[in-house]
Amino acid sequence: MGIEVVVEGLTKSFGKQNIWQDISLTLPAGEVSVMLGPSGTGKTVFLKSIIGLLKPEKGRVLINGVDMVNSPEREIMETRKLFGLMFQDGALFGSMSLFDNIAFPLREHTRKKESEIRRIVMERIDIVGLLGAEGKLPGEISGGMRKRAGLARALVLDPQIILCDEPDSGLDPVRTAYLSQLLIDLNAQIDATMLIVTHNLDIAATVPDNMGMLFCRNLVTFGPREVLLTSDMPVVSQFLAGRREGPIGMSEEKDAATLAAEQTNGFGHTAGPRTVVPQLEPSPGLPVRQGALRRRERVLSMMGQLPDAARTAIMNSYTPTLDGGRR
Ligand SMILES: Nc1ncnc2c1ncn2[C@@H]1O[C@H](COP(=O)(O)OP(=O)(O)OP(=O)(O)O)[C@@H](O)[C@H]1O
């Protein structure tokens, strides 16, 4: 089962530039979470801080009792082995076959025999649907296949926490839909805690159990997906609708005068409550997502603290199914 990641009061600056401040959230064990936010709001910096590659000046990131910010480097390095990372471009070595790229972490970090490495690599290649392409070089395959190879490589060390940085970048809508399904299927199969950074609204609407958003150096919100998807906060509804009108400007925040003019002109209003589309289910034949079962108990126990619209959306999603069970 995946491991819970607890972020407490995290603040990161580069010199005088504050990226974000006082971020607190918990990635529940084995659940899928998405972090949204306009470009440049520090989503990648957040991922790198979780894994201890960047050092926030305040706060803690607790994983199995190890603080990825302040613990001794030796403990941080050890805890890093729990992670699988998928970067934007797949980050593959161009001169190595897909097989060798995916085998790389095993050859680097373990003493496994080549026969065992082959078994693990081929299994992961199968999970991401790349069987037959293992002999190809990254330059000989499409961007979508490179992403899946990057995901396979992230999986070889049996990660309990998976961080994906814009897994959809450069993919067409159909490939993005396949990728969304792959992420859910993966979660069903390995029950790892997953955090996905994306701008893609289809992934955001259909994949995660939990969602958050960074804007203007703050965590606007983080919680069950229905909270963000039904939120009437201007910054959230603007982002989800992909509108120009609202607090998000071309270079992040709009000035007060521009915002006031938009309000006078009647812009920035949402057209009634948004509908929440159902979350993806694992493909037929795969196990039930344990994270989804745990999430259901967790979310139902916190209903009293949630806004009305989110509560209604959650109740609608947990309605009885035709076979007598409950989703
Ligand atoms: N190592 C670094 N040194 C100095 N500044 C940095 C460093 N890494 C990131 N930044 C700055 O931090 C800010 C946030 O960058 P980041 O890449 O995290 O944004 P993002 O939200 O992931 O953006 P995008 O959605 O466009 O990928 C940017 O202004 C960037 O220039």
- Residue 41 Cβ inside 6 Å of ligand 1? The answer reads yes
**Average pLDDT for 250-261:** 61
Domain C-terminal end among 157, 177, 195: 157
Tally the domains of the chain: 2
* 42 pLDDT above the threshold of 60: yes
The model's pTM: 0.87
User: Is 260 contained in some domain?
Assistant: no
* 179 pLDDT above the threshold of 90: no
- Residue 43 Cβ inside 6 Å of ligand 1? The answer reads yes
- Residue 72 Cβ inside 6 Å of ligand 1? The answer reads no
Same domain, 215 and 302: yes
Model pLDDT for residues 154-173, shown as the tens digit of each residue: 888 889 999 999 888 777 78
Distance separating alpha carbons of residues 214 and 35, to the nearest angstrom: 7
- Where are the extended beta strands (E) located within 147-304? 161-165, 193-197, 210-215, 218-224, 248-249, 252-253
Distance separating alpha carbons of residues 236 and 124, to the nearest angstrom: 36
User: Is 215 contained in some domain?
Assistant: yes
The phi, psi pair for 193, rounded to 5°, reads -75, 130
pLDDT of residue 324: 47
Same domain, 108 and 75: no
Same domain, 107 and 202: no
Same domain, 305 and 323: yes
Q: What is the ipTM of this complex?
A: 0.97
Residue 43: which residues within 8 A CB-CB, separation 6 or more? Answer: 35, 36, 37, 165, 197, 214
Do the Cβ atoms of 43 and 214 come closer than 8 Å? yes
Distance separating alpha carbons of residues 161 and 1, to the nearest angstrom: 9
**Average pLDDT for 233-262:** 72
Domain C-terminal end among 138, 157, 176: 157
pLDDT of residue 262: 60
> Is residue 71 within a helix (H) or strand (E), and if so which, with residue range?
none
Same domain, 6 and 77: yes
Residue 176: which residues within 8 A CB-CB, separation 6 or more? Answer: 168, 200, 202, 203
User: Which atom of ligand 1 approaches the CA of 166 most closely?
Assistant: 27
Same domain, 112 and 35: no
Residue 117: which residues within 8 A CB-CB, separation 6 or more? Answer: 103, 106, 107
Q: How far is the CA of 224 from the centre of ligand 1 (A)?
A: 26
pLDDT of residue 89: 61
pLDDT of residue 254: 57
What 3-state DSSP class applies to 207? coil
Give the residue numbers spanning the domain of 145. 94-157
- Where are the extended beta strands (E) located within the chain? 5-14, 17-27, 32-36, 58-63, 66-67, 83-86, 161-165, 193-197, 210-215, 218-224, 248-249, 252-253
CB atoms under 10 Å from CB of 49, counted, come to 24
Output the domain CATH number for residue 38. Answer: 3.40.50.300
At 257, is the pLDDT very low, low, confident or very high (cuts 50, 70, 90)?
low
User: Is 88 contained in some domain?
Assistant: no
Residue 322 or 292, more confident: 292
User: Which atom of ligand 1 approaches the CA of 199 most closely?
Assistant: 25
